[in-house]
Structure 1
Amino acid sequence: MSSFATSFWSSDYAGGLGVLFGKLQQGVQENQQILTIARMRADAEEVYGQRIGEIIPATERVSGGFSRDDGASVRKAYEGMRVEMDEAAKNHRKIASNIRELVVNPFGRWCDAHAQRVQNSQDDLQTRIKLHDKQAESVRKFRSQYYNKCRLVEDLEEEDKLAFQDPKVEPVQNTSPKSPLPPPPPAVPTIKEPDPEDDEEPIDIGDVTYMPEQVKKILTHMLENIKLGETKVPILGTYQNVSTGSDITEYIRKNMNAANVEFAEKVGQDIVHNGFLRLVGNVGNTFANSSRMYYQWRPKVFKITGIPEKKQAISRVGTLTEGIDSPVNAVGEILSGWNPLNNPYPNETPSERLRREARESDERYKASVRKLDALRCNLEEAMVDHLKFMERCELDRLKAIKAVILDFSGAISNVIPSLQSTVDKMMLFQETVQPLGDLRYLLENYRTGPFVPRVITYENYYNSVDGQTFGVDLEARARADRKRVPLVVTTILTYLDNHYPDLDGDEARRAIWLVDVPLGATHHLRQQINDGKTVPVEVLEQYEIPIVASVLKLYLLELPDSLVSSHVYEIVKTVYSTTATDSSEAQRVSVIQSTLGQLRLANIATLDAITTHFTRLIELTSADEAYISSLSTNLAPCILRPRQETTLTMNEKYNYRLLRDLFGHKEAIFGELKRASSQATRAASAANQERGRGRGMSTDERGRAIAEQEKWQAIATKNGRAASPAPSTRIKRERSPNRMSGDASTRFPVSPSTTSPPGGVTSPTERRSTLTRHSLEVPGSAEASPIGSHTNGVGSTAVANSNHADGSLEKRDSLGSSSRVKSRKPANLSRQSLYGGVSSSSERVRADSLKGAASHESDHRGVELTDKPMDD
């Protein structure tokens, strides 16, 4: 069953949480409604008992009557009625007391605690989401600044290239052929440096980036609406065009959408930093909301806006105490603007300044992306913890309501047997409450999407993906690794295959992919290997095997697009909608093969490597149908996801059905893809040879060998005949009987990845082509290993232990016998205790055989997923 931690995710994180906490707050209101019913019923029973108790005193106030008759039968009936009235009043008051003690008081305290827990979780997650969104906005801002600086650097470099080129002078036509004129001397090139004043760049004020025209309008409006005056500073003199900090802050709050004084001071500080204001009469350039701090508008502002500047008339008549006309004021004015330490980079050219600013903006952008990634990981960890806690709280709430109804009915049924019918109905209502069913209903009708993290990666201006592994496009990562399959995938799969024999039994080997690993542990390993480099095996050995498997699933979930691209999701949906019967299975497999052929080579190769790993695990551990179904359900979101999650796609299981077909028909699907890729490669090579576009010979011996091989492949493709479609009468060569001897020449007599004619005989050209791997072939796949190949005859082994490419798992023969080799027991007790239990004798024998096979074939241990470098 789905859970809160896997059902309430959205692209902005807040959408799914809003739906969940809306339902949780609805549960808090439901608690109050049930509590109101119990409280008002207790009050009603209390009032009813009091009114019944008032009947007897009312009758006693009547004088005479039955008090005069001592033995009359009528008086006995009257006395019985009085007793019953008194007992009824006591019973109703007891009902009220029971309801308050058993329901209202304890359930009221529990409701208050539950509401506080929900509110605390909601407030904590909202705070984390706000920090994440704020940092994401900062990342977008720094990215824009970085790209603008890079564009300016490129423009300056282009201008420098054009400035230092030799001028192209048109030859002067001679007016007379008898007296030719010499060509004029070439003009001396001149370099015109850009004027810093004319360099119009966007300006950041607050959290908004303004263009120069917008800045001009804002400054003009500020000069027209902010009070300008003058202030006198002792010794330095009088300053013109001065405004107080409080006036500027008030203007910013009214006209620039400043929510509070703190944000207004931040905007004012940005205005000071951009050179529009300066502080007078104090040290520094700090902006504050104070009526005692004065700021002078610089001449730059009046030049931009075109408003005439009010200047002070300098007069040399007077003494030092006459203020405005003092020559000391003029000197002070000059000295106040002189700041030799204002520029930390003296003698810096404009080009050097632009490059330095580009580097600084790049570092700020990188740091902001790293900070955002850390905040995102913390947010996701907190969301998973809170969602699991809220799921337990919601289940407890439903159970508490069930208990309250039972206590409420018991408080009434124990006192008044006459209300048994009502009690029976209330007991029926209590029995109809199903907490698990209500929880499942909430998940099925209000979930917003599965857990798919949205990674914001560092986008280098020059399209470099160095320094990061997770969240990067699969093909870009593969090209950076110069492999068809990214190194992070091959390394993890190889590491897991090498450590399968260390686990105690097939059940433990299968269980590592179904363990619910804490997201914090997975993120911890992710931080260790998210550097764009080869994953060190020493780092993986520090973690439990389920954590290593979980980080591979997280890598596939954090891809920008699913491994099977979302562009073909509708095609896959159509395939399974129209081919639902078993009779169309072959047709469905053919359509799936052609659909996967539309993917990029890196996606196909990675999908082949992953499918090979799991089909081998399923086959060699004898996994049952229940495990295959659970594994497919767990891995389906990692393989195929729709482009946009909706209420319809969340209930669709097309990715699950696709994964089941990949497990069941791997040979047919990927074998055909490899053959098609091989034919396309040979056809392209032949076409290049015919057009004379082959690569030149190299003096290196390796280059000669490659060129010679390409030449013979082109000749064979051009002159060779296609195989006849009729069945061949030649005798098919069986597998060599010496394949158990371990000889390299007899272990693989026929390459399983090569497509042979119907008769089983290959041409020399095709035999030569098997020496090189095709573009889609992944070492360790089912086509490159003997796993899955069977021989005929009774007593022949289905899969030989020495014939395994990984040397890690054992397969029994058709008679049920297996080879037993002594080996040491697993020394890692912590891994055995992770799964618990003691394996059967057959499992221990199988694990020992696996260890023996692995020790004999150390060169071939593990799934060899190392791929050839990409040349395209």
Structure 2
Amino acid sequence: MPGFADSFWSSDYAAGLGVLFGKLQQGAQENRQVLTIARMRAEAEELYGSRLSDIAPATDRLSGGFSQDDGATVRKAYDGMRSEMQDAARSHQRIAQNIRDLVVNPFSRWCDAHESRLQDSQDDLQARIKVHDRQAETIKKLRSNYFNKCRLLEDLEEENKLGFQDPETSPKNPAIPEIKVQEEERAEIEEEVYEIGDEIYQPEQLKKILSQMLTTIKMGEHKVAILGTYQNVSSGSEIVEYLQRHMNSSSVSYSERIGQDLVSNGFLRLVGNVGSVFANSSRMHYQWRPKAFQMGGLPEKKPLNRTFSMPSTGSEAGDSPTAFGSVGEYLSNWNNRNPDETPRQRLQREVTEADNKYKAGVRRLDELRCDLEEAIFLHLQFLERCEFDRLKAIKTVILDFSGTIGNVIPSLQSTVDKMLLFQETIQPQGDLRYLLETYRTGSFVPRVVVYENYYNKANEQTFGVDLEARARADKKRVPVIVTTILTYLDHHYPDLEGDEARRGVWLVDVPLAQTHKLRARVNDGKTFSAEILGEFDVPTVASLLKLYLLELPDSLVSSHVYEIIRTIYNNPTADGSEASRVAVLQQTLSQLRLTNIATLDACMNHFTRLIDLTSADEEYTTSLASQLAPCILRPRTETSLTLEEKHAYKLVRDLFAHKDPIFSALKRMSTVNHSSSVKGNRGRAISTDESNRKALMEERNRQLLEKANANRGRATSPAPSPRGHRRDRSSGGPETRFPIQTSPTTATDRARGGFGNINSIAKTNRSSLDVPSHDADAINGSSEPVKPAVDSPTTSEKRDSLHGRTKFVGGRRVPAEPTPEESRGITLEDAPMDNL
């Protein structure tokens, strides 16, 4: 059964958690209802006992009667009924007190603590989500600023190319008026559009807005100690009030964003405090700059001549806001450290600064996202325990409530039996399952915000980057992170004790914080080695691969074919056989990109070898497929229907069971497609051996020269003259698009057995467990000839001859270099991606 940690996720994190906390708050109300029943039953029992105790005094007030007949039997019956009424009154009063002591008081305290735990978790998660969302909004602004700077730089470079003289090579002479005019025009072009809030305004539109603001918003003087008195000052709360009333601002935070943009564009400035932050506060004062009055077309209110009480030293410039305004201008221009730089140098510097800020912001957002996901995991596990404890507490409360009545009044045994039956019917585990099956919002699929380089480089980040883009950056068909992790695990399986421990590597519940710690070490997109993996345990390394596949923008088996795979398993083929289903899966998987196919083949090869060599049973295979299903196939959008579907699990089971026929057919399809594309794009075959090209060209030229000299002294032959050297197809067919030896061609080639003898594995079974690394394919024998598609009478002889000639290097069997005739065909090698 899935838990809270796998069930209440959403793309914005808040929606799934909102559903969960709604159900938990409903549980808190259920606690109060149970508590109300117990409290009112205690009050009713106490009232009933009080009324029963009033019977005897009421009869005693009647004179005569049974008080005259001391020895009559009727008197004894009367006394018995009277005493029973007194005993019943005391019993009901005792029941009321027991209910209060054993149920109401302790359960009331527990309910208060439970609600406090829920509220603390909700407040903590909401605060973390708000910080994450604010950083995400900041990233959008930084990305927009970075892209705008890059566009301006490109426009300037295009202007320099079309100009008569390159401004960068022209002498820097600030006295030439033409250069000043060009810089002023460029400044005007840059300031042509203003971004205020989420809107972009032209100068005419902004002029109307500023004119209305300057005439509507209350302005006055603001005196600052030592600095003096400032004119044309408005408080932050007054500006926000105007924005909400006249500019349809939806919230205070959005109004503060608009005010901040007015400060950034030079229309406002903060006075009396350090910095330039805009806030909705009556204590924060902002002065309208001359630029605002110029843009709004209104005259600026000049300060009046006044005599200040503070002493002066012969000049009142210290109290003049104009003087301090010039100081502010000086401080604002202090960052311009290169006043003599050209416009292109300035833009280049601004692009670099914007890029660095954007990168830092993305890294900060990624850290916040990881911290948020770790906190959500911990809180979800804690809340699941809280909800389970609540259900058990209610079960205990009903049992105690029944006991307080049953222990005092045996005559109410039938009622007690029914109440005991009610509490027996409560099943906390079943109720928890019902909550998960009914209200779960989605499984854990992290959404990574990737740094987008303007020039489409993918060397700054590893996780969250598109699989093919990552492979292009690594110049491999399978990303280096996948091959490195699989190779590392193959080398460290023998170090574990027993097959049970080796199989359990992929099923261990590794804390997300530990996986994120390793992720942070290898997420720079540049350095990744087995030494870093060696600092962590083997289950953490396996968890890193699962996290990498989960954070891909699209699943390994693309979501584009999800509906097709759903149709395959919902509507079986006509004959319903496995062979027909495997054939359809082959055609479906052939639609994937070659990088996805190669990566999927490498992963399936690793898992099938692990299953075979550890003699895994059906239970382990089922658990492993369930763990890998979301990593292999995910729908484009997860809904309540897709949460209950098992198509991804069934696909993984079919890949386990029919890996060899599926991927053998995919290799043949990719080879045919690649060969046809090569023939269609090029007029001759591709030569793969260029080591002696210079010698061959010299020999060819020499032979042509000899033929020309021999033909000079004789008549022209009626036969057609040679038109040049014909270049035949070179040996060694086009390389395939699979990077590594992903699997043996037949199932019988895989050796079965355990990991008990490490030395024997290193000599005999290492080739069946190792995933060849990206830089050692030629040494460990990962590239083997594949059987040609068309059989010929000499096919078996060529194959035997190839397998017959071998040599041993470093204790390993390495095939000898084939002759040109034997090297024709298809070879699987981890080649650079130069043809992409």
Corresponding residue to 1:456 among 442, 449, 462: 449
- Where do residues 12-31 of structure 1 align in structure 2 (5 Å cutoff)? 12-31=12-31
| Cα distance per residue 1:38-97 (max 9 Å; x no partner) | 111111111101100000000001111100111111111101111111111111111112
Determine the C-alpha separation between the residues in 2 that align with 1:504 and 1:464. 44
Question: Counterpart in 1 of 2:834?
Answer: 871
Q: Would you say the 8 A contact 2:476–2:739 is kept in 1?
A: no
Q: Would you say the 8 A contact 2:8–2:440 is kept in 1?
A: yes
Q: CA deviation at 1:207?
A: 7.8
| 2:353 is the counterpart of 1:360 | yes
Determine the C-alpha separation between the residues in 1 that align with 2:586 and 2:279. 68
Q: CA deviation at 1:122?
A: 1.1
Q: CA deviation at 1:217?
A: 3.2
Question: Counterpart in 2 of 1:682?
Answer: 675
| Change in CA separation of 1:133 and 1:278 when aligned onto 2, cut-off 3 Å | closer
- Where do residues 215-230 of structure 1 align in structure 2 (5 Å cutoff)? 215-227=206-218
Determine the C-alpha separation between the residues in 1 that align with 2:664 and 2:569. 21
Question: Counterpart in 2 of 1:794?
Answer: none
| 2:741 is the counterpart of 1:779 | yes
| Change in CA separation of 1:475 and 1:42 when aligned onto 2, cut-off 3 Å | same
Corresponding residue to 1:806 among 767, 777, 783: 767
Question: Counterpart in 2 of 1:841?
Answer: none
Secondary structure of the 2:266 match is coil
Question: Counterpart in 2 of 1:484?
Answer: 477
| 2:574 is the counterpart of 1:613 | no
Q: CA deviation at 1:261?
A: 9.2
Number of aligned positions between the proteins: 729
Determine the C-alpha separation between the residues in 1 that align with 2:532 and 2:53. 80
Amino acid of the structure 1 residue aligned with 2:572: T
Determine the C-alpha separation between the residues in 2 that align with 1:313 and 1:423. 90
Determine the C-alpha separation between the residues in 2 that align with 1:234 and 1:453. 52
Question: Counterpart in 2 of 1:434?
Answer: 427
Question: Counterpart in 2 of 1:726?
Answer: none
Question: Counterpart in 2 of 1:43?
Answer: 43
Determine the C-alpha separation between the residues in 2 that align with 1:238 and 1:131. 38
Q: Would you say the 8 A contact 1:501–1:808 is kept in 2?
A: no
Q: CA deviation at 1:352?
A: 2.6
Q: CA deviation at 1:200?
A: 2.8
| Cα distance per residue 1:618-676 (max 9 Å; x no partner) | 11111111111111011000000001111111110000111111111111111011112
| 2:66 is the counterpart of 1:66 | yes
Amino acid of the structure 1 residue aligned with 2:111: C
Q: CA deviation at 1:260?
A: 9.7
Corresponding residue to 2:188 among 197, 205, 209: 197
| 2:311 is the counterpart of 1:306 | no
Q: CA deviation at 1:683?
A: 2.9
Amino acid of the structure 2 residue aligned with 1:408: F
Q: Would you say the 8 A contact 1:556–1:563 is kept in 2?
A: yes
Amino acid of the structure 2 residue aligned with 1:70: D
Corresponding residue to 2:654 among 657, 661, 674: 661
| Cα distance per residue 1:279-303 (max 9 Å; x no partner) | 7899997879999998664443233
The alignment yields a C-alpha RMSD, in angstroms, of 4.2
| 2:401 is the counterpart of 1:401 | no
Determine the C-alpha separation between the residues in 2 that align with 1:497 and 1:81. 87
| Cα distance per residue 1:209-248 (max 9 Å; x no partner) | 6564553333111112134568999999998766677765
| Cα distance per residue 1:476-503 (max 9 Å; x no partner) | 0000000010000000000000111111
Corresponding residue to 2:592 among 596, 599, 603: 599
Q: Which of 402-411 and 471-480 deviates more? A: 402-411
Q: Would you say the 8 A contact 2:53–2:85 is kept in 1?
A: yes
Determine the C-alpha separation between the residues in 1 that align with 2:391 and 2:132. 33
Amino acid of the structure 1 residue aligned with 2:351: A
Q: Would you say the 8 A contact 1:163–1:190 is kept in 2?
A: no
Amino acid of the structure 1 residue aligned with 2:832: P
Question: Counterpart in 2 of 1:384?
Answer: 377
Q: With structure 1 as the length reference, what TM-score do the two structures score? A: 0.75
Q: With structure 2 as the length reference, what TM-score do the two structures score? A: 0.78
Give % identity. Answer: 61
Determine the C-alpha separation between the residues in 1 that align with 2:267 and 2:563. 57
Q: Would you say the 8 A contact 2:568–2:581 is kept in 1?
A: yes
Determine the C-alpha separation between the residues in 2 that align with 1:520 and 1:648. 31
Q: Would you say the 8 A contact 2:586–2:662 is kept in 1?
A: yes
| Change in CA separation of 1:248 and 1:509 when aligned onto 2, cut-off 3 Å | closer
Determine the C-alpha separation between the residues in 1 that align with 2:31 and 2:271. 63
Q: CA deviation at 1:278?
A: 5.5
Determine the C-alpha separation between the residues in 1 that align with 2:308 and 2:418. 102
Determine the C-alpha separation between the residues in 2 that align with 1:14 and 1:293. 33
- Where do residues 319-338 of structure 1 align in structure 2 (5 Å cutoff)? 338=326
Question: Counterpart in 1 of 2:364?
Answer: 371
Amino acid of the structure 2 residue aligned with 1:460: N
Question: Counterpart in 1 of 2:141?
Answer: 141
Determine the C-alpha separation between the residues in 2 that align with 1:348 and 1:579. 71
Q: CA deviation at 1:781?
A: 2.3
Determine the C-alpha separation between the residues in 2 that align with 1:475 and 1:787. 31
Q: Would you say the 8 A contact 2:463–2:548 is kept in 1?
A: yes
Determine the C-alpha separation between the residues in 2 that align with 1:159 and 1:398. 73
Q: CA deviation at 1:309?
A: 4.8
Question: Counterpart in 2 of 1:170?
Answer: none
- Where do residues 193-272 of structure 1 align in structure 2 (5 Å cutoff)? 193=183, 194-200=185-191, 202-203=193-194, 212-227=203-218, 248=239, 251=242, 254-255=245-246, 270-272=261-263
Secondary structure of the 1:648 match is helix
Question: Counterpart in 2 of 1:622?
Answer: 615
Determine the C-alpha separation between the residues in 2 that align with 1:507 and 1:705. 59
Q: Would you say the 8 A contact 2:229–2:319 is kept in 1?
A: no
Q: CA deviation at 1:806?
A: 3.0
Q: Would you say the 8 A contact 1:19–1:446 is kept in 2?
A: yes
Secondary structure of the 1:433 match is coil
Q: Would you say the 8 A contact 1:568–1:595 is kept in 2?
A: yes
Q: Would you say the 8 A contact 1:135–1:372 is kept in 2?
A: yes
| Cα distance per residue 1:667-707 (max 9 Å; x no partner) | 111101111222222333334443x6x7799975489999x
Q: Which of 800-809 and 393-402 deviates more? A: 800-809
Secondary structure of the 2:767 match is coil
Q: Would you say the 8 A contact 1:35–1:104 is kept in 2?
A: yes
Q: Would you say the 8 A contact 2:229–2:320 is kept in 1?
A: no
Determine the C-alpha separation between the residues in 2 that align with 1:332 and 1:189. 35
Determine the C-alpha separation between the residues in 2 that align with 1:320 and 1:9. 64
| Change in CA separation of 1:297 and 1:679 when aligned onto 2, cut-off 3 Å | closer
Determine the C-alpha separation between the residues in 2 that align with 1:120 and 1:430. 30
Secondary structure of the 2:153 match is helix
Q: Would you say the 8 A contact 1:500–1:509 is kept in 2?
A: yes
Q: CA deviation at 1:464?
A: 1.0
| Change in CA separation of 1:399 and 1:856 when aligned onto 2, cut-off 3 Å | farther
Corresponding residue to 1:508 among 480, 495, 501: 501
Determine the C-alpha separation between the residues in 2 that align with 1:333 and 1:80. 101
Secondary structure of the 1:782 match is coil
- Where do residues 561-580 of structure 1 align in structure 2 (5 Å cutoff)? 561-579=554-572
Determine the C-alpha separation between the residues in 2 that align with 1:644 and 1:27. 30
| Change in CA separation of 1:650 and 1:236 when aligned onto 2, cut-off 3 Å | closer
Q: Would you say the 8 A contact 2:395–2:423 is kept in 1?
A: yes
| Cα distance per residue 1:307-339 (max 9 Å; x no partner) | 34567999xxx9999xxxx99999989866645
- Where do residues 524-535 of structure 1 align in structure 2 (5 Å cutoff)? 524-535=517-528
Q: Would you say the 8 A contact 2:451–2:460 is kept in 1?
A: no
Q: Would you say the 8 A contact 2:738–2:829 is kept in 1?
A: no
